[in-house]
Amino acid sequence: MKATRLIVPIKSTGLRSNELDLIQYSPAGISVYILEENTEKKWHVLFRNTQALRVTTWESANEVLRTLPHEGGFFELFDSDLCRSLGAGIREYMQSARHFVISCYDQVVEVVAYEVTITCMP
């Protein structure tokens, strides 16, 4: 499994920089709301065409955390066990699926989805 830091508009200097505010699930997608450290800006991270959601406490997320770079808070995992368990490489619908990771102060949020958009909340 390989991790790449994603370039996103949310400032995140380290793995525990930002605070998870809220997660909402609907058929339209999974919404994750993040509070940016120091600025208190609220960001809406919307995942569409989702296949999986996993939220783990920081203390229990060693499997994922050990693969992440030490800087940043938003990543994509390649060749992940989670994607394989969902049928990557076997099921056609998983061909476009991506494994996203958001590392927050107390939690690690993982979403398998086709796409993500990030917007700053007013």
Residue pair 79/21 in contact by the 8 Å Cβ criterion: no
What is the gyration radius of the CA atoms in the chain, in angstroms?
Answer: 14
pLDDT at 40 over 90: no
pLDDT at 49: 96
CB count within 10 Å of CB 52 equals 15
Percent helix, strand, coil in the chain (nearest 5)?
10, 50, 35
The pLDDT of 49-75, averaged and rounded, is 94
Which value, to the nearest 10 degrees, does the dihedral of the CA atoms of residues 80, 3, 61, 50 take? -60
With 0-12 CB in 10 A as exposed, 13-18 as middle and 19+ as buried, what is 119?
exposed
Question: Residue 70: its pLDDT value, please?
Answer: 85
Mean pLDDT across 70-93: 93
If one counts every other C-beta atom within 10 angstroms of the C-beta of residue 35, the result is 18
Q: For 44-60, what is the mean pLDDT? A: 97
